[in-house]
Chains A and B, each alone.
Chain A
Amino acid sequence: EPEVTQTPSHQVTQMGQEVILRCVPISNHLYFYWYRQILGQKVEFLVSFYNNEISEKSEIFDDQFSVERPDGSNFTLKIRSTKLEDSAMYFCASNLGLGLGSQHFGDGTRLSIL
């Protein structure tokens, strides 16, 4: 069964550095999403992406964040200047149609900011 893959599984970065989290969604999916989960807290929606542009974003997704689908297979989340509070698990997901239903999730990237 096709799956969403995320790399790396764990990223350790110094505060202030840029970080790029990578995701390969399922190949025929059209909608892509990023979520984050701070340790011990609930999952939070960051952004959804369709047709090469952001379709929706949350208040968390400020100017420090950006997303890109650079080559038709990868979907990346960039954090420009990381802060300690960016430490979290970041999940990528994809599906054929808009909405949470039938989304396929990756296993997540654990981002640790030192």
Chain B
Amino acid sequence: KNEVEQSPQNLTAQEGEFITINCSYSVGISALHWLQQHPGGGIVSLFMLSSGKKKHGRLIATINIQEKHSSLHITASHPRDSAVYICAVVGDKIIFGKGTRLHILP
């Protein structure tokens, strides 16, 4: 069983829709990160969470430590949000999820 599971694997939505990407993990962690991987392959760090909620522009990330679950939300989605979103947890080691491929249609 994967220690970090993301859902859905793929998501296609219309521009303007509210997007939710989920991440569940089974190990003890000190922090959880959300990363964005562009179609060309480049990676950008979006959020680091150890508790609660963070917001940056149209992006919101939440974490529930007791339930070992985090969500990344995108409000008013736009085609430029199309990318792979990766959840990564930091515990004894860094473990990455397989990513969620998001495609926003104009």
List residues of chain A with CB under 8 Å of any chain B CB: 37, 41-45, 56, 58, 89, 91, 93, 99-108, 110
Measured CB to CB, the nearest residue on chain B to A45 is: B94
B19 at the interface (CB under 8 A from A): no
List residues of chain B with CB under 8 Å of any chain A CB: 30-31, 33, 35, 37, 40-45, 48, 86, 88, 90, 93-94, 96-99
List 6 other contacts, CB 8 Å, given A43-B37, A99-B31, A100-B33: A42-B98, A45-B94, A93-B43, A100-B94, A101-B48, A107-B40
Complex Cα distance, B92 from A56, in Å, reads: 10
Complex Cα distance, B88 from A43, in Å, reads: 9
Task: Report yes or no: A43 in contact with B86, Cβ–Cβ below 8 A.
Answer: yes
